[in-house]
Amino acid sequence: MPTQPDLALAAHLGDDVHFMPDDGSTWPTEPGSGRGRSHGTSSSEAFDRWFRYPAGFASDYVSLLLKQLELPKGSLVADPFAGSGVTGTSARTMGYSFFGIEAHPAIAELASLKLQDAPTDLTGGMKTADRLVRLARQYSDGVDRDFSAETELTRKSFAPDALARLISLRDLIKSGEAGVWSIHAKWALLSTLRDVASVRVGWPYQNPTKTKKAKFADPLLRFQQRLEAMASDLRAVPSRENEQLSLNVVHGDSTDSASWNLLPQASAHGCVSSPPYLNNFDYADATRLEMYFWGEAANWSQLCSKIRSKMITATTQQSSVGSAANASKALEGYGDIAKRISDLTDDLRSERLARARGKEYDRVIPDYFSSVAKVLANLWWAMKPDAPIVWLVGDSAPYGVYVDTPAIIAELAESIGFKAEDDRVLRRRGQRWAKNASRHQVELSERLLLLRR
């Protein structure tokens, strides 16, 4: 059972309240806001600041968790939902090797970039930025640009002068002008987009109908600052020559055993990860602005087929009748817990049918848990005996039906063979909606789940 927080105190303190364990356990609590983060990756910590991934961990907390695992020197840390690579960069800082799998192709590229050896000539990065900025200025200023090839979201998100500069930079980078710094320059530019947008494009969803003053007036200057920050983070990484670390992020689906091929069986010493929550958050849609601008997708259907295709079903948009039926069948092998999932599915079906246009949460639930079970089975294969696994995961309550996601994951893990050692509340969440009468009033929290192989 999770350690219950003092919810009355939490309500008094407001949204996203953090808890101190009161049972003598030494698990560290998640630090509150600050250090450049209110949610998502920090905008000020090294590497995290390369791109603000809304689903990202706080790196200071991941470091505390890794320390708590007391892994031997030279250990390998795994993360089946690697995201922007926060566990990876924290592991490297602590002298551990890392293996991560991430389904979002661009975010996997970003995580991988953070862990790659930097180009040897770091000052060359600055010269590259200078040249790109000079050329972009030349090609955009005073030039009457045609934006018709851009998506509507891109056209509406920036003032014309800013957009002309952004497009010039993009075209220069795509033409190879940034040389060995191409991918770094790409991410410096993608991270610049929200900084210079003149409409509301905050996370998670981008709404180009509401105007605002751009946070930074000059995209070229901001791009240069961002590339400089990346080079400075890379400069601070100790040379890996002596350490022989192996640092890999695979773009793949962690439910698929083929995505784990790079990893020898029973080789990982620990895992710190966070699976998608069952809260209808769409990781592909959250990066729509960047994906449209870079030309990775031009419309919703491409976003689904090219960006979202490897992700586990955690939103109603991803659900389908066939996939839910297959998942329910696959779960039958999991004994009692299958019955609990099937009861939840029935409750959610009734809720859907009671509404004119109810959402298909009942199709998400079996698919989600069946996928998580597959990831756990792969993790079982990859981890050493006795290896600790820490997952941060929230519960949810679609239509007010309480889904105790962490407890269900713990039971699935136990039926695979893991020991479920701890399940504790880190913070209460979702209070932003508490006054909305159409929302459910179920208390939700973020939990830390400790499993052992």
Measured from the CB atom, the residue of 2 and 276 that comes closer to ligand SAM is: 276
Cα–Cα separations (whole angstroms), residue 415 to 170, 235, 265, 409: 50, 46, 20, 10
Measured from the CB atom, the residue of 53 and 293 that comes closer to ligand SAM is: 53
**Buried b / exposed e along 425-435 (16+ C-beta atoms within 10 A):** bbbbbbbeeee
Task: Give the Cα separation of 84 and 91 in Å (integer).
Answer: 13
Please, what is the minimum distance in Å from the beta carbon of residue 424 to ligand SAM?
18
Measured from the CB atom, the residue of 140 and 315 that comes closer to ligand SAM is: 315
CA nearest neighbour of 270 among 77, 422, 66, 72:
77
Beta-strand pair 388-394/199-200: unpaired
The one-character DSSP state at 286 is G
Q: Could you write out the DSSP letters of every residue in 295-351?
A: TS-SSHHHIIIIISTTS---SGGG--HHHHHHHHHHHGGGTHHHHHHHHHHHHHHHH
Task: Give the Cα separation of 156 and 35 in Å (integer).
Answer: 31
Measured from the CB atom, the residue of 86 and 413 that comes closer to ligand SAM is: 86
Measured from the CB atom, the residue of 185 and 272 that comes closer to ligand SAM is: 272
Please, what is the minimum distance in Å from the beta carbon of residue 100 to ligand SAM?
9
Please, what is the minimum distance in Å from the beta carbon of residue 116 to ligand SAM?
17
Kindly give, in sequence order, each residue whose CB lies less than 8 Å from that of residue 313, ignoring residues fewer than 6 positions away: 319, 323, 364, 367, 368, 371
Please, what is the minimum distance in Å from the beta carbon of residue 229 to ligand SAM?
18
Which residues does residue 452 pair with via DSSP β-bridges, in sequence order? 388, 419
Measured from the CB atom, the residue of 308 and 453 that comes closer to ligand SAM is: 308
In the numeric block, which tokens belong to residue 329? 């069948």
Please, what is the minimum distance in Å from the beta carbon of residue 87 to ligand SAM?
6
Measured from the CB atom, the residue of 79 and 347 that comes closer to ligand SAM is: 79
Measured from the CB atom, the residue of 219 and 394 that comes closer to ligand SAM is: 394
Please, what is the minimum distance in Å from the beta carbon of residue 238 to ligand SAM?
22
Measured from the CB atom, the residue of 63 and 255 that comes closer to ligand SAM is: 255
Q: Which residues make up the interface to ligand SAM (CB under 6 A)?
A: 53, 55-57, 80-81, 83-84, 86, 101-104, 107, 253-255, 274, 276, 283, 310-312
Please, what is the minimum distance in Å from the beta carbon of residue 271 to ligand SAM?
12
Please, what is the minimum distance in Å from the beta carbon of residue 274 to ligand SAM?
4
Measured from the CB atom, the residue of 129 and 390 that comes closer to ligand SAM is: 390
The one-character DSSP state at 403 is B
Residue recorded with tokens 């009457």: 144
In the numeric block, which tokens belong to residue 162? 């800013």
Please, what is the minimum distance in Å from the beta carbon of residue 83 to ligand SAM?
2
Residue 229: left if φ>0, alpha if ψ -120 to 50, beta else—which one?
Answer: alpha
Length of the chain equals 453
Report the residue closest to ligand SAM, judged by CB.
Answer: 83
Task: Give the Cα separation of 23 and 3 in Å (integer).
Answer: 9
Measured from the CB atom, the residue of 45 and 171 that comes closer to ligand SAM is: 45
Please, what is the minimum distance in Å from the beta carbon of residue 41 to ligand SAM?
6
Please, what is the minimum distance in Å from the beta carbon of residue 351 to ligand SAM?
25
Task: Give the Cα separation of 258 and 49 in Å (integer).
Answer: 31
Q: Could you write out the DSSP letters of every residue in 120-139?
A: S-HHHHHHHHHHHHHHHHHH
